[in-house]
Amino acid sequence: MSTQYLTLVNSVLRRLREDEVSAVANTAYSKMVGDFVNDAKTQVENAHDWSALRTTVVVTTSSGTSEYSLTNAGERVKIYSVINDTSNFFVTYQTPTWVNNAVYNAGSTSGAPSYFTYSGVDSSQDTQVTLYPTPDGTYSLRFDLIARESALSNDTDTTAVPSNPIVHLAVALLARERGETGGTTAQDYFLIADRHLSDEIALDAYKNPEEFIYRVP
């Protein structure tokens, strides 16, 4: 279930015994809480390949064009597998150096794309890939990937990753920022956050306990 930015911020404020707000930008403190929520969200996203962030991007090639964008995938992408649905085989990851060497040694080579490598981001900050050989026609390539979310900014922006670890980690980060040592300390909050994160990862991993998939390093 997706959770709104404002809901996350108010959940953190309540745990710190602070007043809730009607908008994240209401006060300087609620804005700071929002920043810590985003910091926590990033850490939680990076801790596990959440099934909620898994998606498929289909790239349709054109003859003579080797570089393509993974539209709407963003720049924080982890590719699991790529299938050339037109030719019915997997497209394998290779390093940029490998692809450059292949182009240099083989010259201008075209055909059904069999390899891909990362090649930065486009003007929309979406990940770009380079295919080798350069496609000699139209091919449908299916990218199975994890696309991590952008930072939350509007009150109604949502995150699909579990909210409990985000909230508890944000509380821990703020408690450390405030230097709290009495009652529940920052260290205690970090331990609580770790438990919530471990529980959520275990639940999410259980959805695909025996999945053997090709992963890009």
Q: What is the pLDDT of residues 82-97, one digit of tens each?
A: 999 999 999 999 999 9
Collect contacts of 196-203 with beta carbons under 8 A, ≥24 apart.
196/162, 196/164, 196/165, 196/168, 197/44, 197/47, 197/165, 197/169, 200/48, 200/162, 200/164, 200/165, 201/47, 201/48
Would you place residue 215 in the very low, low, confident or very high pLDDT band (cuts 50, 70, 90)? very low
Average of per-residue pLDDT across 152-158: 98
Phi then psi dihedrals of residue 126, to 5 deg? -95, 145
pTM (predicted TM-score): 0.80
Q: At what angle do helices 28-47 and 5-15 cross, to 10 degrees?
A: 110
Question: Does the pLDDT value for residue 136 go beyond 70?
Answer: yes
Q: What is the pLDDT of residues 1-49, one digit of tens each?
A: 799 999 999 999 999 999 999 999 999 999 999 999 999 999 999 999 9
Question: 27 or 216: which carries more pLDDT confidence?
Answer: 27
